[in-house]
Amino acid sequence: MNSEGGGGGGPQGGGGGGGGPSSPQDRQKDTAVRPWGSGCPSSVTTTFDDSNGSYGNVFHVRTPRNEFNFDYQKDVWITGLEFYTDLRTQVSYEVWTKAGVYYADYTGAGELPLGDLSKWALVANGTTVGAGRGRGTPIPEEDFSPVKVPAGGRATSVYVTLSTADIRYAEGGGLNLLEPDPDGGGVPEDTPFAAGDDLIVYEGVGVLTYPFAPNSYQYSSPRLFLGTLRYEVEGMCAPTSAPTSGPDAPTSRPTASPTTPSPVTPYPTSAPTGWVVELDLLTTRVLYTFFVTHDSAVDELFWREIGTATQDALMALMEEEGTELFDRAVNDEMLLVGVEAFTTQDEEHKENEPECNPADPVAETCSTVAVTVTVEHLPSASREDARRALLL
């Protein structure tokens, strides 16, 4: 079996994510309650055709959009999960979730949430015995707190991990979600790879440490979560037929053998009747670069403030009638989901840039600043439309 190496992970490896307590026993599990009680149960199974593995997976799921019946769109609640390990011995597991996609920060704080458990909710943790090759290892239902996936194509991210490098996953066919587009286009579009009638599973990343870390080199991408998500659709199931008056009388001739239901296949090429998966939200990212003269001694807060100022300016334009961003926000449901500012090493260009001319070269310096902005929007606006609106 192939396993991908990480940055010295494991419970004592020291390679993990800040923002969370040091052991699962110290962490408080989220206790979400479905306000509507129970709903219509279903599940989606991806595949168990693994190619490598490590400590865990991060991926996201979405509800579909129904173009023909918006009243039918309902929240989905994930009620259980099976992960894939080839072990048949005891393993320690954790499941964390957050609203939105994991490669953009919905809080607007300007930082990616990978590696920071304070941005995630713990919904399951414990120990169980692995089911071994070719089958999912279920998390006990009583240990799993339900997770909401909002209606209308919204996303929820899932982080599944073991305390040892024994999660199995597979290589995806999309592009690296954690690697910016060299042409400034940003993160590639989401790549779905499995779906049920009410839940779509997207390609994600493999986690090479425990717990996960903030550095991109401690992930492999794209990677596929292998396993099963059990879920319920908000509201009661519709009856399939009228009740019968009683059991059928026995016959002398046996009926045909019952058929075995077909398993959920990888993401279908044609959507189920009535569902238009193509209307799923698009993700677009742009990169702004400019020069800033500042005191020689600045900390991380300085860059965060630049990101916040950029975010405030974009939000103001989205709320100002007559602007391109206002039109996109109203007509295409464009939503600002992440702003990240950081400095880059670009000494060659700085020397020839007239804006980089500090008055006091000892006390001040000039830095090249990059600000990455991520938005989500309906497909009624193409990614080029969105980029143009952001760059005007």
pLDDT for residue 122: 97
pLDDT for residue 1: 67
Burial 351-360 (b: 16+ CB within 10 A, else e): eeeeebeeee
pLDDT for residue 171: 93
Identify the architecture of domain 24-233 in CATH.
Sandwich (2.60)
Residue position matching structure tokens 């991060």: 58
Spatial neighbors of 322 by CB under 8 A, at least 6 apart, are none
Asked if 73 and 66 count as a contact pair (C-beta separation under 8 A), the reply is yes
Q: What is the pLDDT along the chain (392 residues), one digit of tens a residue?
A: 677 875 444 433 333 444 444 444 455 555 555 554 567 889 999 999 999 999 999 999 999 876 555 555 788 999 999 999 999 999 999 999 998 888 764 334 445 678 889 989 999 999 999 999 999 999 999 999 999 999 888 899 999 999 999 999 999 987 777 665 445 444 456 789 999 889 999 999 999 999 998 887 888 989 999 999 999 997 756 554 444 444 444 544 444 444 444 444 443 433 333 333 333 578 888 888 777 777 766 666 776 788 788 888 898 898 888 899 988 888 887 888 778 777 654 444 444 555 566 666 666 777 777 788 888 888 888 888 888 999 87
Asked if 200 and 61 count as a contact pair (C-beta separation under 8 A), the reply is yes
Asked if 59 and 203 count as a contact pair (C-beta separation under 8 A), the reply is yes
Can you spell out the DSSP letters for 128-185?
A: EE---TTS-EEPPGGG---EEE-TTT-EEEEEEEESSS-EEEEE-SS--TTS--TTS-
pLDDT for residue 103: 76
Contacts of 344-353 with C-beta under 8 Å, sequence gap 24+, read: 344/289, 344/368, 344/369, 344/370, 350/291, 353/291
Name the amino acid, one letter, at 241: S
**What are the backbone angles phi and psi of residue 328, rounded to the nearest 5°?**
-70, -40
Asked if 202 and 118 count as a contact pair (C-beta separation under 8 A), the reply is no
Burial 216-234 (b: 16+ CB within 10 A, else e): bebbbbbbbbbbbbbbbbb
The closest alpha carbon to 159, from 205, 104, 196, belongs to: 205
d(CA 16, CA 206): 14
- Helix 324-331 / helix 383-391 crossing angle, nearest 10 deg: 140
pLDDT for residue 255: 46
Pairing of β 155-162 and β 56-62: antiparallel
Asked if 349 and 304 count as a contact pair (C-beta separation under 8 A), the reply is no
Burial 239-276 (b: 16+ CB within 10 A, else e): eeeeeeeeeeeeeeeeeeeeeeeeebeebeeebeeebe
d(CA 321, CA 388): 17
pLDDT for residue 32: 52
pLDDT for residue 315: 86
Name the amino acid, one letter, at 307: G
The ranges assigned to domains in the chain are 24-233, 281-391
Q: What is the 3-state secondary structure (H, E, C) of 46-66?
A: CCCCCCEEECEEEEEEECCCC
Work out the burial of residue 327: count CB atoms within 10 Å of its CB; fewer than 13 is exposed, 13-18 middle, 19 or more buried. middle
Model pTM? 0.57
- Please state whether the peptide bond connecting residue 211 to the residue before it is cis, i.e. omega within 30 degrees of 0: yes
pLDDT for residue 169: 97
